[in-house]
Amino acid sequence: MKNNLILAIDTSCDDTSVAVTSGKYVLSNIIASQTELHKQYGGVFPTVAKQAHKEQILPAILIALKRAGANWQDMAAVAVTQGPGLAPALEVGIATAKRLSSKHQIPLIPVNHLEGHVLSVLAQPKPQNVPWQKLDTLLPQTKNSLSILVSGGNTLFVKTVKIGKYKVLGQTLDDAAGECLDKIGRMLNLGYPAGPVIEQFAKLGDPKAVPFPLPLTMTKTYDLSFSGLKTAARNLLEENGVLKPLEKQAVYDFCASIQFAVFRHITYKLNKLLVDHEFSQIWLGGGVAANATLRRMIRETIRTNAGRVQNPKLAVPYSKKLCMDNAAMIGVVASYKPTQKTDSEKIERRPRWGLGELKG
């Protein structure tokens, strides 16, 4: 039996995820969400996240192996998110991966979480009627593609020079887009995370009802900023320092308007990028990439720049699970990395680890 599978772990934030992958194929992708635990705080509480990761990680590993129909003899390596992310949360995944690597005498491959989101579009579901031993081992390659990563922790434009070598072309200077939606959703009492609720409510509202500013139109860079939209929302919702309750339709209109404002800012900067550069293709990843309006607005922006992108079809992950934080994307990245023996004890968490720092 070939042992070419990877057991991948991601504990970068508030989801405990374990996956089994073979090259680009996903055999299992378990995500134990902590959303219910963090709801009461309106955001992720680091020590609560750490404790929950500790409790959930071993069951998640067992389920991931079972769903994949694999065992430890089939594993070529353990992959783990080294950063960026919440330090106490990263620590749990890394400590577990080190133990597994040493116990089963297989290499440990540290992975950058953002590289996971970039390559998440390359992941493929395992074809049902093909046993994993017979899957092709060919890994897709790309050059000069543009990734738009939009999540709760990050919002950035990244050029993949080649797989493993990245150039950040622009990024948020303050809040991430998902964080902005979550914070405004909190003002509207929509629970946490608010992004998916805002998407649903926006369908019932008028995106032009509340006029929000378009940020950073005077700057030449491709950087983004969402904190001004958050302040504008607070100013509109507050009366004498107190949040005023809105009628149902007004909430729908507010959701449609703020969602439109956040996505218009992203597509305004995307348009600028496409006018100034040529790319082979465009990829979209991160939790907010699940949003159908964002996808539509990005597709429209690509269409208005026809000819500047070789393959104009926007690539998105094959399932919404692949958009959010998940370990399958970490396994896919690991399959591109050499598996020579590294001193796994030396691998430490890197809470701040930019994509531009990868050597390639």
Distance CA 304, CA 273 (A): 13
195 binding ligand KG4? (CB under 6 A): yes
Q: Is 344 left (phi over 0), alpha (psi -120 to 50) or beta?
A: alpha
Among residues 23 and 152, whose Cβ is nearest to ligand KG4?
A: 152
**13 lies in the binding site for ligand KG4 (CB under 6 A):** yes
Q: Which of 286, 317, 328, 332 contacts ligand KG4 by CB under 6 A?
A: 286
C-alpha span between 96 and 204 (Å, rounded): 45
Measured from the CB atom, the residue of 35 and 137 that comes closer to ligand KG4 is 35
Work out which of 81, 145, 155, 291 binds ligand KG4, going by CB under 6 A. Answer: 291
3-state secondary structure 241-302: CEECCCCHHHHHHHHHHHHHHHHHHHHHHHHHHHHHCCEEEEEEECHHHHCHHHHHHHHHHH
The single-letter DSSP state of residue 126 is P
Number of residues that bind ligand KG4 (CB under 6 A): 20
Q: By Cβ distance, which residue is nearest to ligand KG4?
A: 287
Which positions from 85 through 124 interact with ligand KG4, judged by CB under 6 A? none
In the complex, the smallest distance separating the C-beta of residue 57 from ligand KG4, rounded to whole angstroms, is 18
Q: How far apart are CA 246 and CA 150, in angstroms?
A: 28
The three-state secondary structure class of 182 is helix
C-alpha–C-alpha distance, residues 339 and 122, integer Å: 20
Helices (H), ranges, the chain: 35-38, 46-68, 87-104, 113-119, 177-187, 195-202, 227-237, 248-276, 292-304, 320-323, 328-334
Rule CB under 6 A: which of 132-191 touch ligand KG4?
151-153, 178-179, 181-182
For ligand KG4, which is the closer residue by CB, 23 or 285?
A: 285
Interface with ligand KG4, residue 81, by CB under 6 A: no
Binding mask 198-227 for ligand KG4 (x = CB under 6 A): -x----------------------------
Instruction: Note whether 324 binds ligand KG4 by CB under 6 A.
Output: yes
Q: What's the closest the beta carbon of residue 83 comes to ligand KG4, in angstroms?
A: 13
CB of 290 to ligand KG4, least distance (A): 4
- Characterize the bridge pairing of strands 279-285 and 309-315: parallel
Smallest distance, Å, CB 293 to ligand KG4? Answer: 8
Say whether the peptide bond before residue 131 is cis (omega within 30 degrees of 0). no
Q: Which residues bind ligand KG4 (CB under 6 A)?
A: 13, 151-153, 178-179, 181-182, 193-196, 199, 286-288, 290-291, 324-325
